[in-house]
Amino acid sequence: MPGKPELGGPTGALELTADGGFRATDRGHEFLTELYRSHAKATADLWADHRARVERLLDSVAVVLDAALAPLLDGADATRRGAFAAMAPPYEPPEADPGLLLLNRLGTLRYHRADAHAAAWVAAGLTAAQIAAMPDGPAREAIENETDRRAAPPFAAIHAPSRLTVLADLAGLPA
């Protein structure tokens, strides 16, 4: 759009919105359409023999995403400004292949965990540079345990026996 700052380097794939956010330009939409097409093909090829597993995971991951989104949508966490808040809910193209939907949902949950990780190291008084340089050991393990604790609540939306099925299904998918 003329007069609007574009992001994404010379490609102009993104533009800033009046509220400080961003959105894809026409060129950005073309790129995203092709990206989704590529991801759909890759997941369809990779997970062709795992259709039932993908379908089960799709439903379970949707439950977890809904639970993670609830505080953002009901206003209880309106001041939260993290990666998950920026990226959720995931875009789900109409008639998308289940593999693409699962990939996008899992990717969005990674932002939830990234926010939990950042909160854990900030609570420990660390900077991004310090956590990146931190070697394995008890201090690092404490941060990881705190990350797990902060990231866990949405997973409680899945009943305990079903969580084992989710873990088995995730482990059974080729990477």
Q: What is the pLDDT of residues 38-47, one digit of tens each?
A: 999 999 999 9
* Domain that includes residue 11, residue range: 1-46
Specify whether 56 is located in the same domain as 97: yes
- 4 vs 28: CA distance, rounded Å: 15
Specify whether 86 is located in the same domain as 153: yes
Specify whether 35 is located in the same domain as 80: no
When computed from its CA atoms, the radius of gyration of the chain, rounded to whole angstroms, is 18
Ramachandran region, residue 95 (left: φ > 0; alpha: ψ -120 to 50; beta: rest): left
Residue 9 has a pLDDT of 58
Specify whether 38 is located in the same domain as 110: no
Residue 6 has a pLDDT of 52
Residue 130 has a pLDDT of 96
Specify whether 66 is located in the same domain as 1: no
Residue 1 has a pLDDT of 44
- 55 vs 124: CA distance, rounded Å: 39
98, 51 contact by CB (below 8 A)? yes
Residue 22 has a pLDDT of 78
Specify whether 74 is located in the same domain as 157: yes
Specify whether 86 is located in the same domain as 148: yes
Number of domains in the chain: 2
Specify whether 8 is located in the same domain as 37: yes
Specify whether 35 is located in the same domain as 70: no
- Torsion, Cα 94 98 100 101, to 10 degrees, reads 70
| Residues with pLDDT less than 50, the chain | 1-2, 78-79
Specify whether 134 is located in the same domain as 80: yes
Specify whether 54 is located in the same domain as 118: yes
Specify whether 164 is located in the same domain as 116: yes
- 87 vs 18: CA distance, rounded Å: 18
